[in-house]
A and B are shown apart, each in its own frame.
Chain A
Amino acid sequence: MASSAAVPFWRTAGMTYITYSNICANLVRNCLKEPFKAEALSREKVHFSISKWAGGKPEKPILRSDTPGV
């Protein structure tokens, strides 16, 4: 049985739907007027730290943040 629907161009390029959707949302946010733009960008800021675990102990955490210096 042949595949049914035509595959979107971003899927053939190796992108997932979530990545596509987030890119679209970011582009729209960047085109907003102030103050909506500032609100939207501050709303979407992320700040988290990841640490890999090896042998039952966490290794050095990697900090990912949009608020530098925190």
Chain B
Amino acid sequence: MLRQASRLLSRSVTAGSSKSTTARAFSTEVPSTIDSTFVESWKKVAPNMDPPQTPSSFMKARPTTASSIPTKLTVNFVLPYASELSGKEVDMVIIPATTGQMGVLPGHVPTIAELKPGIMSVHEGTDVKKYFVSSGFAFLHANSVADIIAVEAVPLENIDASQVQKGLAEFTQKLASASTDLEKAEAQIGVEVHSAMNAALSG
């Protein structure tokens, strides 16, 4: 059965590529293909009006990736109510991705990472700034720009340890007594977030 696997896989790949004649390019890489026949027939009908523009003519081209890896990572860390870091050049950031703590250096492979509640640390020389992030996303681009978005991010000093313990106990108890799926999910989220805060404060 497994001997057939490679044949089946290669067959489905070729079938897929025959349907789409070319591999589809990203929308920002397609050169502005102005349809000349359309423009000519437009000019015949309405010579005084400019031909309509298409969305791609308004889009900026994807920024070209530098040939050599830059020395610094540019971080944009935004919250809904504030822009915490804007275009800051740092050496490294460690983000709490759902797949684990991810260290991002300049020249990181382009990634979109979903963040889980945890600590995000920004390293600049010997300076380390830590934030507790409630959840969010991190977009790492090919040109060593990292866009990190979170709903709530607080410095660790602003978290009250006693509240965290209280919340953890409360939600653990709720998880045990939860009946519906939704209640269970909410209680589990509570347990996860409070455990993460606990670990952040003690770690």
Q: Which residues of A approach B to under 8 Å, CB–CB?
A: 9-10, 12-15, 20-25, 27-33, 36-37, 40, 43
Q: Across the interface, do B197 and A31 meet the contact criterion of CB distance under 8 Å?
A: yes
Q: Across the interface, do A13 and B134 meet the contact criterion of CB distance under 8 Å?
A: no
Q: Across the interface, do B181 and A13 meet the contact criterion of CB distance under 8 Å?
A: yes
**Known interface pairs A12-B181, A43-B81. Does A24 touch B189 (Cβ–Cβ under 8 Å)?**
yes
Interface size of B as a range: 20 to 34
A-B pair count, CB < 8 Å, reads 74
Q: Tell me the chain B residues, 133-183 only, with Cβ under 8 Å from chain A.
A: 134-136, 151-152, 154, 158-160, 163-164, 167, 181-182
- For A27, the chain B residues whose CB sits under 8 A away are 134, 167, 189-190, 193-194
CA distance A43 to B81 in the complex (A): 9
A10 → chain B closest CB, angstroms:
5
- For B152, the chain A residues whose CB sits under 8 A away are 24-25, 28-29, 40
Q: Across the interface, do A32 and B160 meet the contact criterion of CB distance under 8 Å?
A: yes
Q: Across the interface, do B159 and A32 meet the contact criterion of CB distance under 8 Å?
A: yes
SS class, residues of chain B in contact with chain A = helix
Q: Which residue of A lies closest to B158 (CB)?
A: A36
- For A22, the chain B residues whose CB sits under 8 A away are 151
- For A30, the chain B residues whose CB sits under 8 A away are 163, 167
Whether B106 sits at the interface, judged by CB under 8 Å, is no
CA distance A37 to B163 in the complex (A): 11
Q: Which residue of A lies closest to B183 (CB)?
A: A13
B196 → chain A closest CB, angstroms:
9
Whether B107 sits at the interface, judged by CB under 8 Å, is no
CA distance A28 to B152 in the complex (A): 7
Q: Across the interface, do B117 and A24 meet the contact criterion of CB distance under 8 Å?
A: yes
- For B193, the chain A residues whose CB sits under 8 A away are 24, 27-28
- For B81, the chain A residues whose CB sits under 8 A away are 43
Q: Across the interface, do B160 and A31 meet the contact criterion of CB distance under 8 Å?
A: yes
Whether B30 sits at the interface, judged by CB under 8 Å, is no
A39 → chain B closest CB, angstroms:
10
**Known interface pairs A14-B182, A24-B151. Does A33 touch B160 (Cβ–Cβ under 8 Å)?**
yes
**Known interface pairs A15-B185, A31-B197, A33-B160. Does A24 touch B167 (Cβ–Cβ under 8 Å)?**
no
- For B40, the chain A residues whose CB sits under 8 A away are none
CA distance A37 to B152 in the complex (A): 12
CA distance A9 to B188 in the complex (A): 9
20 contacts between A and B (CB under 8 A): A10-B189, A12-B181, A14-B185, A15-B185, A20-B135, A20-B189, A23-B190, A24-B151, A28-B159, A30-B167, A31-B163, A31-B164, A31-B194, A32-B158, A32-B159, A32-B160, A33-B159, A33-B160, A36-B158, A37-B160
